[in-house]
Chains A and B, each alone.
Chain A
């Protein structure tokens, strides 16, 4: 559904009422994809899941030889697992940050392992956040607030903690 509502009042509200933020969640674990999807839907987000970096890049229009996505395509945040076969979350992060179209999209890296060098590496590469698994509702509330703030930088938003 292409909604072309004007954004002249976008400073008053983070989103139009019918425009939920769209989050791409990338994880090779089926169980984890299911859980993150439910957490995000319960936080009033639209969710797309991808099972690996390659699929995520295809979805974002960043795969080799792909034409870029048009202006209607919107992703407000990407949440990716770090440890994935083929392409790690870090490598995916790099690809996203290298792309002119997608580099502004906040990327959150999640991992079950608390490894300071890994965390530093991701943050230096431009990750919005690095979170430890398993994710819970408070993590998602925090991310939701960040999405709101990024969408609406001209006004301090009260976080309603949906």
Chain B
């Protein structure tokens, strides 16, 4: 596949991630922070987000599995996940966390478990999408091209 084709694929794919609500403007901010002096910034932040989220999802699973659920602890974990997903622009994960926190406040264990499932689902979806996006970018660069950030108009 030639570079122009790859670039067009990247543009279409990126646009779809925004129009489907997976990513929001904060992700664009991160892309704009990347430059020649720091060409791996987005990959690094995204990797940190993956590590952080997986740890938090494990903690949440464990916390909700206790015979007596400590809702304050659950809420603290969800708050953290909401924060990091917001910072990276993972909009659907962030929104799932907002609902989750409401149920923590209500101390509704069953609803919290449903929310956890939803958050996990959204997380794995966006993880998959971001990995695909990064792979596309790496292919473009490997073929000698550059990622056409300027083609994204918002």
Binding site for B on A (CB under 8 A): 28-32, 34-35, 38-39, 41-42, 83, 85, 112, 133-134, 136-137
Evaluate whether A29 and B80 lie within 8 angstroms (CB atoms) in the complex, with A34-B45, A35-B30, A35-B45 already known. Answer: yes
Q: Can you identify 25 A-B contacts, CB atoms within 8 angstroms?
A: A28-B80, A29-B87, A30-B48, A30-B51, A31-B48, A31-B49, A31-B52, A32-B84, A32-B87, A34-B44, A34-B48, A35-B30, A35-B87, A38-B38, A38-B41, A39-B33, A85-B76, A133-B83, A133-B86, A133-B87, A134-B26, A134-B87, A136-B26, A137-B29, A137-B32
Closest A residue, CB atoms, query B84 = A31
If over half of B's interface residues share one DSSP class (helix, strand or loop), that class is named, otherwise mixed; here it is: helix
- Cα distance A38–B32 when bound, in Å? 11
Task: Name the A residues within 8 Å of B30 (CB-CB).
Answer: 35
B93 CB within 8 Å of chain A: no
Binding site for A on B (CB under 8 A): 26, 29-30, 32-33, 35, 38, 41, 44-45, 48-49, 51-52, 76, 79-80, 82-84, 86-88
Task: Name the B residues within 8 Å of A29 (CB-CB).
Answer: 52, 80, 83-84, 87
Closest B residue, CB atoms, query A136 = B29
Closest A residue, CB atoms, query B79 = A83
